Amino acid sequence: MVYKCLLPFSLHFQLFQSLSYFLKTPSNHSIFLGVPSFKEKPDAISYFELLIMANEKSRDPLLPEENSTHRRKKLGVLFHTSEPNIIFPAGEEQQEASTSSHHHNSNVSIRNPSLSPNMSPVNYFMSPLHQTSPFSKSPWQWNLSNMNAQGGNQTTGLIGSLVREEGHVYSLAASGDLLYTGSDSKNIRVWRNLAEFSGFKSSSGLVKAIVVSRDRIFTGHQDGKIRVWKFSDSMRKAHKRIGSLPTTMDFIKSSINPGNYVQVRRHRNVPWIKHFDVVASLSLDEEHGLLYSGSWDKTLKVWRISDSKCLESVNAHDDAINSVVAGFDGLVFTGSADGSVKVWRRELVGKDTKHMLVYTLLEQESAVTSVAVSTTDAVVYVGTSDGLVNFWEHRKYALAHGGVIRGHKQAVLCLAAAGSLVFSGSADKSICVWRRDAGGFHSCLSVLTGHSGPVKCLAVQEHLENEDGGREWVVYSGSLDKSVKLWRVAEQP
């Protein structure tokens, strides 16, 4: 950029000498990055500032405005303490909300009988992490849009968007006509008909997981606590906190007995009934009245919903647990940052019931970020940080590796299964919709795009107002761009 000057020639000469000094002095290069570290040559700096002031007074149109995008961004925008944002490499600009349909039978599900179920099929290239994040500047809003699917699928597309400047969206849960969203603002927002319905706030802890069981809402937090909420009116609008897991009484009783303590770090022991790190995932087994919690403290804990009692704590993995799912046939699946997926079964051991390790589905270097189970077809889907989705099929009392689904350029962060469809959300800001046929082959129905940040969580509900007879689903996607989008997806194109 060229600046005009209104100063005398003598002042220009002194300014040239000063700038020449800084160009030759590496320790002072921060002046050109906007960082004022001027411990040397104060006279030279004063000339530099004088030149800028003179140009500002002249209101020269060539000078950058105060709100120019060329200014250095604030530190809070460049870094986020909870999780890095991942953006496209150069040349792949963000797109408007749209749907790209692929109804041809593309070979996205690859079967290879020589692949071991304990090995990752391939190593997949993952783009570097960038910690910049595009933020929406709009207030609470919802936009009803046309079903702008490309390729002729008019029953798949964006329904609306929910946006608020209060934090990245980390968790979702849909129950009836209500949608619960959790963010790093500690707020749990309740939505109804694309509008804010109510909300409640926890005392501390980013909301990493939400599940709903009848009139109770369970939330997992960054501070290691599981909080329990309940409707306080018939309209389901007002919510009150009724406790936490473990209960205060159980925690006190457990703390009295030294035998209930386990070592979690050097010189630190805690009661085994409480998570001491982030509660990353929650899953319900409504048939047996159980709640499963997976934490970054590497443990899987089992809770009885009726009395909020912790029944069991399992040292499940060698690294943080990112996902836990209660599946079919009494099986529980856990996925961890150690690259493994383990299968657990509840069995009677003596007079007690324990969760025993059945087998390990996957062992690899890439972290497991998400696990989803299709109870309809008895299929387990596993998303990993290398951008792949592996799946296992239940065959003759065993789980066999079925293949690999490839559709993302960056890490798969969340999965959801409904009917014959599987949804995968990724750090590449897109959501892929896959349909499983009778032979186990997965074809890509569409790619939902519109988020300006990584897609962190998904929830799916069946659309009950379909008049065509075909099955349709409403998909909720939460992103680190601070928005939630609603999509309508048809099972048949």
Ordered DSSP codes for 147-164: --EETS-TT-EEEEEEE-
In a shared domain, residues 53 and 107: no
Q: If DSSP codes are grouped into helix, strand and coil, which group holds residue 351?
A: coil
**Where in the sequence is the domain holding 222, given as residue range(s)?**
191-336
The helix/strand/coil state of 259 is helix
Residue 346 in domain: no
462 domain residue, yes or no? yes
**Confidence band of 428 (pLDDT split at 50, 70, 90):** very high
Mean pLDDT across 335-354: 91
pLDDT at 331: 94
- Residue 104 pLDDT > 90: no
- Among the candidates 49, 72, 95, a domain finishes at 72
CATH number at residue 303: 2.130.10.10
Q: Which of 167, 24, 148 is nearest to 82 (CA)?
A: 167
Could you tell me whether strands 421-426 and 309-315 are parallel, antiparallel, or unpaired per DSSP bridges? unpaired
- Domain assignment of residue 488, yes or no: yes
Point out the domain boundary residue: 20, 43, 72.
72
The answer to whether residue 322 sits within a structural domain is yes
When divided into structural domains, the chain yields a total of 3
- Which two tokens mark 361? 């589905």
Q: Do 18 and 93 reside in the same domain of the chain?
A: no
Amino acid 54: pLDDT: 46
- If asked whether residues 220 and 322 sit together in one domain, one would say yes
Tell me the C-alpha to C-alpha distance, in Å, between residue 473 and each of 45, 67, 193: 63, 43, 16
Last-in-domain residue among 33, 49, 72: 72
**Are residues 313 and 252 part of one domain?**
yes
* Number of residues written out for the chain: 493
If asked whether residues 317 and 368 sit together in one domain, one would say no
What average pLDDT does this structure show over 213-235?
A: 89
Residues 237 and 318 in one domain: yes
In the chain, pLDDT over 70 holds for what percent of residues? 68
Shared domain check, 200 and 317 = yes
Tell whether the model's pLDDT for residue 110 goes beyond 50: no
Mean pLDDT score across all residues of the chain: 75
165 or 421, higher pLDDT = 421
- Quick check: is 358 in a domain? no
Q: What is the pLDDT of residue 247?
A: 92
Residues 60 and 19 in one domain: yes
Structure tokens at 40: 């040397």
Q: Which of 236-250, 296-310, 393-407 has the highest mean pLDDT?
A: 296-310
User: Alpha-carbon distance 91 to 48, whole Å?
Assistant: 37
Q: Where are the alpha helices (DSSP H) in 161-264?
A: 248-256
pLDDT in tens, 295-304: 999 999 999 9
- For the segment 180-193, the average pLDDT, to the nearest whole number, is 89
Domain-located, residue 174: no
Is 183 inside any structural domain?
no
Give yes or no: residues 67 and 94 share one domain.
no
Question: Are residues 110 and 56 both part of a single domain?
Answer: no
In Å, how far are 327, 363, 479 from 382, measured between CA atoms?
13, 12, 20
Query: Comparing 97-111, 112-126, 434-448, which segment has the lowest mean pLDDT?
Result: 112-126
Q: Are strands 98-101 and 149-150 parallel, antiparallel or unpaired?
A: parallel
Given a cut of 80, is residue 108 above it in pLDDT? Answer: no
Kindly tell me if the per-residue pLDDT of 382 is higher than 80. Answer: yes
pTM assigned to the model:
0.71
pLDDT of the residue at 2: 46
Pairing of strands 309-315, 455-462: unpaired
Question: By the 8 A CB rule, do 356 and 345 touch?
Answer: yes
Task: Please tell me whether residue 194 adopts helix, strand or coil conformation.
Answer: coil
pLDDT given for residue 56 in this prediction = 42
Examine the domain organization and report whether 37 and 161 are in the same domain: no
Would 80 be classed as within a structural domain?
no
Residues 90, 65 share a domain: no
